[in-house]
Structure 1
Amino acid sequence: MKHLRIPLLLLFVAVSQVRADAPRPNILVIFSDDQSYKTVGCYPEAPPWVKTPQIDALASSGVRFERAYLGAWCMPSRASLLTGRLAHGVESMRMEGTYPGSTYDPAKTPFWPAVFRQKGYTTAHIGKWHTGIDTGWNRDWDHQIVWNRPKLPGNAGNYYSDQILSFDGIEHPHPQDGYSTDNYTQWAEEFINGRGRDPKKPWYLWLCYGAIHGPTTPAQRHLSDYSEAVPTIPQDVFGPRPGKPKYLETTQAWIPAADGKPALKKKPKQAGNFDRDEPGLSLEKWIIQMNQCAEAIDEGVGRLISALKTSGQFENTLVIYVADQGYAMGEHGLNMKLAPYDASYASPLIISQPGTIPQGKVCNQPVNSPDIVATIAARAGISIPWKIHGKDLTPLLENPQRKDWDHPVLMTFTGASYGSDARVRSSGEVYHNVPWWIMLRHHQYKYIRYLIPGETEELYDLNTDPEELNNLASKAEKSELLKSLRGQAIDELKKTDAPFVDELPRTLQEETL
């Protein structure tokens, strides 16, 4: 077979030369809020009545990732995407003042869009901001239309209308007219078509929709959609949940109504909830509302892709569709994010660029937010000058089914604590009734460890138990697998300089060894 070596080498050199000579891609990241993958029609877990034709078309033009993990809630998810680091590696960020008041030191927490600016990209941010009062205008962003929630807590619940916005550093004192999802789409279209940027430069746009975050408010034109839909009720909405951690008793959100179907029970006000739902709201009605809210985003995706095509930029634009995290719709009795289950936590993720990424493929390997950042940087040919926690996904984009990919994905939940502030007391740590946790995904397995003493570990085989109903952590036949994944999780904590790696409380399984 020696006679094949020269042609293959020449082919490799030729492909490499084409990539080296190709113009740097534009980058469009479309970022939704609290959107479960079950509200995106191209995901097999979505009900058959869910219709998102434009997002589905984007998936048909690229690679759909079956599971992506960005963060447990709004702020750490965005912090991770802006830095390429897990939340426990984001220094200086903290909550201050009235929720969602927050702050950070840009010298200690640099954001990579500033690096892209220095390397010749025009950078833009449009939409929701939830990462400190300082939005980075004229440091990270050349162009910015921003709803600065940390600065304006009194306006922070206005997800769908009457937002107070700043345009390129100038705050407009009067509430913005129109439906916010549509407004963001329009401004993104204008940027794609040349407004606010140098046409000679490649560009990066981070479009941050506020939908489908609560209070779930569909556009008027979508209020009658899905009127005949019958949502599926999760089988463990009421419990019992043998083998599950104790905190699920306190986060139980649904009770049987007079007809036996789940209805939302009254619960304490939580930071960031903004009257998401009223007690007594039926789970079926709420699921429909969530999907109605997603329709305006789907329409927006179609408009943006059309703008790229009409302007001749589509083939040279890397398009990424992703959410900050999911949101449980009754699974495990939950009506929340925060928890480490896929229903609460996993995001839809689609990556597309014609000619460079295969079309209509599905990747089952788990990935996380730092991986997305590593991929964006690699495809732009830019080196980020600090340690990031991710791995370039280009090999998976080229071959989504490759067998030699071995990348354990670590995620952590440390409440509202970041960087060196994420330390664990002997009594453990809890945020909004959910204990701090670490989660490791490796191939089909998920390992969960809570940072309170004596709590059970969790182990799931997502190939056979995708809804995470059967905890295998106490099964004798899984003891070696549990031990291996526990060790891998600790190794990943060390690699990412987690400040609490030596403070992990002993688990139920460790205490019974």
Structure 2
Amino acid sequence: MNKTLNMLASLTSACVVAVLLTACGQESAKKEVAASQPAKQTKKPYNILYIMTDDHAAQAIGTYGSRLASLNPTPNLDKLAGEGMVFENAFVTNSICSPSRATILTGQYSQTNGVQDLKGGIGKEQQYLPLEMKKAGYETAIVGKWHLKEEPGAFDYYQVLPGQGSYFDPQFRVQGDKTWPNNTTAYTGHSSDVITDISIDWLKQRKSDKPFFLMHQFKAPHDYFEYAPRYNDYLADATIPEPVDLYGVPDTFGSKATRGENDSLIREIGTSISKRNPRRNYGQYYKTDPNLADDEYTRITYQEYLKGYLRCIKGVDDNIARLIQTLKDQGLYDNTIIVYTSDQGMMLGEHDYQDKRWIWDESIQMPFIVRHPGIDNAGSRSDLLINNTDYAPFLLDLVGQETPDYMHGRSFTPALRGETPDNWRTATFYRYWTHRMYHEVPAHTGLRSKDYKLIFFYGDNYREQQFPFYDKKWTEKTGLEPNKIPTPAGWELYDMKNDPDELVNIYEDPKYAPVIAQLKAELVRQRELYNETDANYPRMKAIFDKHFND
């Protein structure tokens, strides 16, 4: 596979010299181009503690400096960031739980690893990250949220939540005598506390003299934001700062070509905070008085939403402090690399949206913080454009293990020393596959560079046999499943430097025609390079073929 990727890279690199995407061959370079070297090892190999939350938006971490930073929501994470490096441009390739986790474990984009939506799972033979870690001599463990259906059998140890799991008194599937999926054990307490208790017990009781690789994965702050009762008063008297477009977006926002030509369809796309979507808005969950004026309804719902969300995060942050203290108590802290991330971002009222899935930055940006005790980079930041296909290669490189040929991503360990890997990407690929299945978000794809974002809303479901849909009233009214209804195809372009809130679609502005042409060419190249061409989905391929010359 590497030979093929290198050939593609050499054929395409000359065509983009001195234009926007000057390093179009970067992803295919892999080990042959300036193979990164792991950090200088101490006499004892470094342990790795990989901490991942669910839906923790970067804008809800103090060190990322968003409107929420003044609330000091994550003092322990911020302290960790102050001891290492913060990556400011880390992005998910498919902003939904199972696909993101599959990509992290395999180093592959969704169509290759087969987990394009929540129906997918990863069997033992595909759990590449722990398998490769074991080859490097590591004891492997995973605790917390798994969400990939099959048994995490490639790990030496596991205790994982069944499916999404419960916030309170959760059950865990525990490695042991009983056969998966019947190997369940019940616990008492809040899931963030219980997950941390299990990891702490494992750290204290492990007998192996091998270095460890522990994936500690919280359920929080996934909706519906059920926080531990001890946080009832946290932020009770605070007013949570609001996003600029919570109460409505400018007329120039978006494009009716991508949302539909009629107002009812536009309003029914996505879960809103306001009353904009009469069928799915978060005020309905919080039982906000529907008789309130629109702005007051929105304000009250937003405050409830963010306080519940941030209380879940407070529980995560406090439990991270417990984990770190355990490492210190066990004499492990100075020999353990700590990585913090989330499986994707989260819309926190931006564009009047809740949830993820969208290609908007709040949804696709992943926090990524690395504290490496062997590298003096305390308080540093990197703007390198990374995505979650790179996480497995990066973690393997930290322990001296080469990136396997079947992985799409590349290691970025040189960034920990302030260096840019040779021929690095200038744009990261994104695709959300599950058309209108959850929160009515239409299927779309695109590229995010440092300066621009190109989006193609192709608006149809790749599956010939559709999911059963949750809203029976719509089916009864129309005779159609909502996820069977295509939305009109269309393009959007945003200037991320001058319009970071993504409010003005400039796709039709003729002065951006060269940028659009370059980005489309790169989108085509990456689709081909990463097996995202829909060769097995003729209906999808026809849509792309028709609209890529628009």
Q: TM-score range by the shorter chain?
A: 0.7 to 0.9
Q: Could you tell me how far apart the structure 2 residues matched to 1:233 and 1:17 are? A: 42
Instruction: State the identity as a percent.
Output: 24
Deviation at 1:277, TM superposition (A): 5.2
Q: Could you tell me how far apart the structure 2 residues matched to 1:127 and 1:337 are? A: 21
Letter in 1 for 2:210: K
Q: Identify if the C-alpha distance between structure 1 residues 397 and 358 changes in structure 2 by more than 3 Å, giving closer, same or farther.
A: same
Select 1:164's aligned residue among 160, 168, 171: 171
Select 1:246's aligned residue among 259, 282, 303: 259
Deviation at 1:186, TM superposition (A): 1.6
**Residues 295-345 of structure 1: per-residue CA shift (max 9 Å, x gap):** 011011112122222322223222111111111122112112111001222
Question: Is 1:24 aligned to 2:24, yes or no?
Answer: no
**8 Å contact kept, 1:449–1:507:** no
Select 1:331's aligned residue among 336, 350, 356: 350
Secondary structure of residue in 2 paired with 1:28:
strand
Secondary structure of residue in 2 paired with 1:439:
strand
Deviation at 1:157, TM superposition (A): 5.6
Give the structure 2 partner of residue 182 of structure 1: 193
Select 1:75's aligned residue among 87, 98, 103: 98
Q: Could you tell me how far apart the structure 1 residues matched to 2:387 and 2:338 are? A: 17
Structure 2 unpaired stretches of 5+: 1-35, 261-265, 290-299, 460-486
Q: Could you tell me how far apart the structure 2 residues matched to 1:349 and 1:77 are? A: 14
**8 Å contact kept, 2:385–2:425:** no
Letter in 1 for 2:40: R
**8 Å contact kept, 2:46–2:336:** yes
Question: Is 1:349 aligned to 2:356, yes or no?
Answer: no
**8 Å contact kept, 1:454–1:507:** no
Select 1:85's aligned residue among 88, 91, 108: 108
Question: Is 1:267 aligned to 2:279, yes or no?
Answer: yes
Q: Could you tell me how far apart the structure 1 residues matched to 2:376 and 2:109 are? A: 27
| Residue correspondences, number | 457
Give the structure 1 partner of residue 494 of structure 2: 460
Secondary structure of residue in 2 paired with 1:113:
helix
Give the structure 1 partner of residue 509 of structure 2: 475
**Residues 71-92 of structure 1: per-residue CA shift (max 9 Å, x gap):** 311110111111111112213x
RMSD: 3.0
Deviation at 1:125, TM superposition (A): 0.5
Question: Is 1:320 aligned to 2:339, yes or no?
Answer: yes
Q: Identify if the C-alpha distance between structure 1 residues 303 and 504 changes in structure 2 by more than 3 Å, giving closer, same or farther.
A: farther
Secondary structure of residue in 1 paired with 2:541:
coil
Letter in 1 for 2:338: V
Give the structure 2 partner of residue 391 of structure 1: 410
Give the structure 1 partner of residue 223 of structure 2: 214
Secondary structure of residue in 2 paired with 1:232:
coil
Give the structure 1 partner of residue 543 of structure 2: 505
Letter in 2 for 1:503: K
**8 Å contact kept, 2:74–2:317:** yes
List 4+ stretches of structure 1 deviating above 6 A.
15-18, 400-404
Q: Could you tell me how far apart the structure 2 residues matched to 1:65 and 1:278 are? A: 38
Give the structure 2 partner of residue 49 of structure 1: 71
Secondary structure of residue in 2 paired with 1:19:
coil
Question: Is 1:120 aligned to 2:154, yes or no?
Answer: no
**8 Å contact kept, 1:94–1:104:** no
Deviation at 1:197, TM superposition (A): 4.7
Question: Is 1:493 aligned to 2:527, yes or no?
Answer: yes
Deviation at 1:431, TM superposition (A): 3.8
Q: Could you tell me how far apart the structure 2 residues matched to 1:309 and 1:129 are? A: 27
Secondary structure of residue in 1 paired with 2:355:
coil
**Residues 402-448 of structure 1: per-residue CA shift (max 9 Å, x gap):** 99854432122222xxxxxxxxxxxxx55432222222222232222
In the TM superposition, what are the counterparts of 1:412-431 in structure 2 within 5 Å? 412-415=431-434, 430-431=436-437
Q: Could you tell me how far apart the structure 2 residues matched to 1:39 and 1:360 are? A: 18
Letter in 2 for 1:349: F
Deviation at 1:242, TM superposition (A): 2.6
Give the structure 2 partner of residue 419 of structure 1: none
Q: Could you tell me how far apart the structure 2 residues matched to 1:209 and 1:145 are? A: 12
Q: Could you tell me how far apart the structure 1 residues matched to 2:326 and 2:276 are? A: 41
Give the structure 1 partner of residue 484 of structure 2: none
Select 1:441's aligned residue among 442, 448, 466: 448
Secondary structure of residue in 2 paired with 1:500:
coil
Q: Could you tell me how far apart the structure 1 residues matched to 2:337 and 2:314 are? A: 23
Q: Could you tell me how far apart the structure 2 residues matched to 1:173 and 1:68 are? A: 35
Give the structure 1 partner of residue 203 of structure 2: 192
Give the structure 1 partner of residue 307 of structure 2: 288
Give the structure 2 partner of residue 135 of structure 1: 151
Letter in 2 for 1:136: P
Q: Identify if the C-alpha distance between structure 1 residues 456 and 203 changes in structure 2 by more than 3 Å, giving closer, same or farther.
A: same
**Residues 102-135 of structure 1: per-residue CA shift (max 9 Å, x gap):** 545544x343202222332110000012112x22
Deviation at 1:456, TM superposition (A): 2.9
Secondary structure of residue in 2 paired with 1:410:
strand
Q: Identify if the C-alpha distance between structure 1 residues 128 and 330 changes in structure 2 by more than 3 Å, giving closer, same or farther.
A: same
**8 Å contact kept, 2:173–2:185:** no
Deviation at 1:357, TM superposition (A): 5.2
Give the structure 2 partner of residue 450 of structure 1: 457
Question: Is 1:59 aligned to 2:81, yes or no?
Answer: yes
Secondary structure of residue in 2 paired with 1:438:
strand
Deviation at 1:264, TM superposition (A): 8.5
Question: Is 1:227 aligned to 2:236, yes or no?
Answer: yes
**8 Å contact kept, 1:457–1:507:** no
Q: Could you tell me how far apart the structure 1 residues matched to 2:336 and 2:108 are? A: 24
Q: Could you tell me how far apart the structure 2 residues matched to 1:162 and 1:342 are? A: 34
Deviation at 1:375, TM superposition (A): 0.7
Q: Could you tell me how far apart the structure 1 residues matched to 2:128 and 2:251 are? A: 41
**Residues 479-501 of structure 1: per-residue CA shift (max 9 Å, x gap):** 10111011111111111122427
Give the structure 1 partner of residue 477 of structure 2: none
Letter in 1 for 2:219: G
Secondary structure of residue in 2 paired with 1:457:
strand
Give the structure 1 partner of residue 482 of structure 2: none
**Residues 135-172 of structure 1: per-residue CA shift (max 9 Å, x gap):** 223xx1111111121xxxxxx462x1122212224456
Q: Could you tell me how far apart the structure 2 residues matched to 1:17 and 1:283 are? A: 44
Q: Identify if the C-alpha distance between structure 1 residues 17 and 118 changes in structure 2 by more than 3 Å, giving closer, same or farther.
A: closer
Question: Is 1:369 aligned to 2:388, yes or no?
Answer: yes
**8 Å contact kept, 1:24–1:381:** no
Q: Could you tell me how far apart the structure 2 residues matched to 1:129 and 1:494 are? A: 30
Letter in 2 for 1:53: P
Letter in 1 for 2:453: K
- Larger mean CA deviation between 376-385 and 121-130 belongs to 376-385
Give the structure 1 partner of residue 161 of structure 2: 147
Letter in 1 for 2:72: V
Question: Is 1:111 aligned to 2:128, yes or no?
Answer: yes
Letter in 1 for 2:186: P
Deviation at 1:224, TM superposition (A): 0.5
Letter in 1 for 2:65: P
Question: Is 1:310 aligned to 2:317, yes or no?
Answer: no
